[in-house]
């Protein structure tokens, strides 16, 4: 009888451990598509942009390329941190990955905390990626005039502002800024319609009632962080919208919880279409 009970306990323990392993793998190594609509009176015809961020050398790179291709975006935004270690092999993988994205749609890149070497920027340009290192490009997508701004900044001196970096934007265009860091206080002097960022990994774990586990190196930021928390999703900040993607990889450890790796599909449309 004791042996039977012991076997049952071992089986239950095995099933429980297996469940935990599968649950961990599902949270960290299965990809989802997060669709977000952005409506504006400046948009005359719908278009779509995919957002891919914070891969950190993820094994999901091939799956990401397939999923982005299936989304059929008109533009692709890559707000940095495709690798963690700047060893040559990781840089080459990141460049090859971006080359695959650029074959799908025009791809626009800004650096993150980890991937900010000039030689890397040069290699990305060679495979057709637009590197927005304090650069603005004007593009036309489905008849829409879009101003695409980008900054390769991983820290900001006290005097930094977008207004001192770029000339005033054309207010008739829909103006988008790509910045790895959602440093909205640094962008307040510049009239933008949308900022697209990453960096936060969505707080790594999403806890019921508490949101992200960590933000700006503060644990349980909803309780202890003194400031605005921009860790995942769409925010309205002083008349400008900010979208922060939770990204794909994990650093330093794969500890995502209720916060699966995501490819974001931003669906831009006119306000009249959105109301319908």
Sheet holding 130-131, edge to edge: 32-39, 262-269, 47-51, 75-78, 107-109, 130-131
Q: Do 100 and 161 belong to one domain? A: yes
Q: Do 189 and 99 belong to one domain? A: yes
Percent of the chain residues topping a pLDDT of 90: 81
pLDDT at 276: 44
CATH, residue 169:
3.60.21.10
Q: Do 164 and 229 belong to one domain? A: yes
Q: Do 44 and 90 belong to one domain? A: yes
Q: Do 22 and 66 belong to one domain? A: no
Does residue 257 carry a pLDDT above 60?
A: yes
Q: Do 4 and 106 belong to one domain? A: no
Q: Do 169 and 252 belong to one domain? A: yes
Q: Do 90 and 195 belong to one domain? A: yes
Q: What is the DSSP code string of 7-36?
A: HHHHHHHHHHHHHHHHHHHHHHH--EEEEE
Residue 169: DSSP 8-state: P
57 pLDDT tier (thresholds 50, 70, 90): confident
Does residue 274 carry a pLDDT above 60?
A: no
Does residue 233 carry a pLDDT above 60?
A: yes
Please tell me the distance from the alpha carbon of residue 194 to that of residue 43, in angstroms, as a whole number.
13
pLDDT at 1: 55
Q: Do 260 and 156 belong to one domain? A: yes
Does residue 60 carry a pLDDT above 50?
A: yes
In this prediction, residues 98-114 reach a mean pLDDT of 97
The average confidence (pLDDT) of the chain is: 93
How many structural domains does the chain have? Answer: 2
98 pLDDT tier (thresholds 50, 70, 90): very high
Q: Which residue has the higher pLDDT, 160 or 28?
A: 28
Report H helices in 72-117.
Answer: 88-102
User: Could you tell me if residue 233 is left (phi over 0), alpha (psi between -120 and 50 degrees) or otherwise beta?
Assistant: left
What pTM value is reported for the model?
0.94
Domain interval for residue 127: 31-275
Please tell me the distance from the alpha carbon of residue 83 to that of residue 114, in angstroms, as a whole number.
7
Q: Do 20 and 111 belong to one domain? A: no
pLDDT at 86: 64
Of 245, 238, 246, whose CA–CA distance to 201 is shortest? 246
In this prediction, residues 62-78 reach a mean pLDDT of 98
Q: Do 20 and 44 belong to one domain? A: no
How many CA atoms lie less than 13 Å away from 198 in the CB half-sphere? 34
Q: Do 21 and 57 belong to one domain? A: no
């Amino acid at each position: 009888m004791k042996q039977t009970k012991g076997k049952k306990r071992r089986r239950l323990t095995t099933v429980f451990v297996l469940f935990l392993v599968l649950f961990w793998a599902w949270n960290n190594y299965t990809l989802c598509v997060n669709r977000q609509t952005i409506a504006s009176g400046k948009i005359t015809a719908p278009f779509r942009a995919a957002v891919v961020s914070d891969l950190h050398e993820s094994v999901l790179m091939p799956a990401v390329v397939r999923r982005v291709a299936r989304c059929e975006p008109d533009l692709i935004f890559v707000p940095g941190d495709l690798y963690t270690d700047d060893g040559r092999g990781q840089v080459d993988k990141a460049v090859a990955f971006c080359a695959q994205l650029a074959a799908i749609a025009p791809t626009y890149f800004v650096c993150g905390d980890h991937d900010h070497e000039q030689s890397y920027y040069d290699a990305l340009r060679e495979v057709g990626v637009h590197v927005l290192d304090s650069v603005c490009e004007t593009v036309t997508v489905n008849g829409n005039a879009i101003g695409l701004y980008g900054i390769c900044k991983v820290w900001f001196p006290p005097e930094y502002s977008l207004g001192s970096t770029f000339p005033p934007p054309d207010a008739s265009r829909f103006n988008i800024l790509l910045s790895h860091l959602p440093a909205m206080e640094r962008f307040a002097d510049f009239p933008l319609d949308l900022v697209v960022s990453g960096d936060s990994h969505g707080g790594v774990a999403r806890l019921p009632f508490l949101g992200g586990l960590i933000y700006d190196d503060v644990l349980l930021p909803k309780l202890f962080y003194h400031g605005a928390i921009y860790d995942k999703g769409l925010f309205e900040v002083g008349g400008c919208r900010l979208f922060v993607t939770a990204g794909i990889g994990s650093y330093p450890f794969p500890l995502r919880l209720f916060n699966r790796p995501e490819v974001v599909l931003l669906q831009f449309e006119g306000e009249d279409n959105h109301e319908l």
